[in-house]
Amino acid sequence: MFTADDEEEEGKKSLKIYHNALGGRVIELKGRGHYTLEDMGTDKFPELLNEVLKISNI
């Protein structure tokens, strides 16, 4: 699960609920806000791609 250090409180609460229910890893990125083009300032998300490739053994 991806989050950002500057995520809003409601987002942090939701992450905790999902993480408690599903487990897994939480990956916190610095200064990324909500994962939208406007907040991220780019359509690139290499961290997500790297995680997908890791679990796919590619």
Helix/strand/coil (H, E, C) string of 2-39? Answer: EEECCCCHHHHHHHHHHHHHHCCCCEEECCCCCCCHHH
Statement: residue 36 has pLDDT above 90: no
Rounded to two decimals, what is the model's pTM? Answer: 0.75
Cβ distance 50 to 25 under 8 Å?
A: no
What is the residue range of 28's domain? 2-55
Statement: residue 57 has pLDDT above 90: no
Q: Determine contact, residues 53/43, Cβ cutoff 8 Å.
A: no
User: In the chain, what percentage of residues exceed pLDDT 70?
Assistant: 98
Q: How many domains does the chain have?
A: 1
Please state the length of the chain: 58
